[in-house]
Structure 1
């Protein structure tokens, strides 16, 4: 008996149990009359199969839970236009996610996704408008994401990327691409802006008559001037396309509302 009890508890806490009744009561109508199943912040550790009874909803919000896995049967939600899974513990997306052909918005930011956790089937989401992969552990993006010709907004911030595939940068309808806080080499434009700012700061330091400076200060000012004269020859341009670094980063963990990514 003791052994059986230990085996039963081995799996640890299962999270909050969601019944069909609880799920039905969590359905809300959006401003445009779509049905939104909102189970965010419920302490859910696994998606309950009872949700299959509600697979005709248009929006599914399971954000801010403890989910580690998205089940293969997510493909049954054929009417989904929005799937919000941000702020969970998800390490991998299922291949079946590519069958959600009606999906317009996919938010999986602030999870534990790696490059291996991004299935090639993501490229089958031909109607996708917004994709948020920020705050994960991704070091390389599949070039096949360039097949998502309807994409308008892509969030890649706070990952381990060293580059963004050209196929994504050249998406025909892309308006916003946020790749801030990745180890991506600086662009020519960023290097030039940094150079101009350095020149401005040095010039501001030198807006006094040299005769009014003490000897050490005059020497320091001359040293900075000499550095400026050599700066351009020291800068090595990085031949790479701009990645729109001026865009605002949506903070899924700090904001209660994710409206701008939906």
Structure 2
């Protein structure tokens, strides 16, 4: 008896055709061509979109991607690249050839220090870099070359200290390094940098068990705080007369 092939446990993902990609093209308010393929269960980078390499913005967030090919450097006009909430454990060195890149979002992936190429430092026009919710223990020293960087997200990683390269970024205005095992005595070193608050909407199945548990705990705390605030507000105004009734009494007196 001939044994059949074992079924792979890996998700096959949705196949994207060139027609589908063209239908997903949009024009932003400021006139940029944006290809939005987010949240479409894509497991393999669709090669067909290389025929649309003149776009300025590419959104592949909230998918099942494990790898970005070297061919990403074909998008020479790219200003924004959004890859958050995928399964990436490595960023290709070719990303350093996207010299017009303004914003790069790699949040909520499986990246470690090993998966970050030194070529990130070649993105000299980069203003926003989000590396939050990964497994990063350190940053490549080449990040110090990002002299135009204004916002940096490092939250929910494995950093035990703030990378020295951060202090070489002259235009850095917002830094979010929360939820890292960094000793509290290091915090004064970044007092001159505004701490950024970031919010991302993702499906529960995109989060690991620990992250999902943490999110639920934070939501319960927020609900509790809102409930207390609502109760206090009601007690503060309980004895006041409604504005309409006051107006009616005044009108009666004026008559």
Q: Which has the higher contact order (CA 8 A, sep 6+)?
A: 1
Match of residue 91 from structure 2: 93
Given that 2:14 and 2:43 are in contact with CA atoms closer than 8 Å, whether structure 1 keeps it comes out as yes
Given that 1:26 and 1:38 are in contact with CA atoms closer than 8 Å, whether structure 2 keeps it comes out as yes
Which residue of the other structure, out of 48, 67, 70, is the alignment partner of 1:69? 67
Q: For 2:192 and 2:153, how far apart are their aligned partners in 1?
A: 11
Please report the TM-score for the alignment, with normalisation by the length of structure 2.
0.74
Please report the TM-score for the alignment, with normalisation by the length of structure 1.
0.73
Q: For 1:164 and 1:147, how far apart are their aligned partners in 2?
A: 17
Instruction: Indicate whether 1:249 and 2:197 are aligned.
Output: yes
1:48 Cα shift?
1.0
Give secondary structure in 1 for the equivalent of 2:129: strand
Cα gap change, 1:243 to 1:61, in 2 (>3 Å): farther
Cα gap change, 1:183 to 1:11, in 2 (>3 Å): closer
1:165 Cα shift?
2.2
Task: Point out where structure 1 has 5 or more consecutive residues left out of the alignment.
Answer: 191-239, 256-262
1:253 Cα shift?
3.6
Given that 1:187 and 1:242 are in contact with CA atoms closer than 8 Å, whether structure 2 keeps it comes out as no
1:187 Cα shift?
2.8
Match of residue 28 from structure 2: 30
Tell me the number of residue pairs that the alignment of Structure 1 and Structure 2 aligns.
203
Given that 1:90 and 1:112 are in contact with CA atoms closer than 8 Å, whether structure 2 keeps it comes out as yes
1:1-262, aligned counterparts within 5 Å? 2=2, 6=5, 9-10=7-8, 12-187=10-185, 241-242=189-190, 247-253=195-201
Task: Point out where structure 2 has 5 or more consecutive residues left out of the alignment.
Answer: 204-255
Q: For 1:249 and 1:146, how far apart are their aligned partners in 2?
A: 23
Match of residue 202 from structure 1: none
Given that 2:155 and 2:176 are in contact with CA atoms closer than 8 Å, whether structure 1 keeps it comes out as yes
| Alignment root-mean-square deviation, CA | 2.1
Given that 1:177 and 1:244 are in contact with CA atoms closer than 8 Å, whether structure 2 keeps it comes out as no
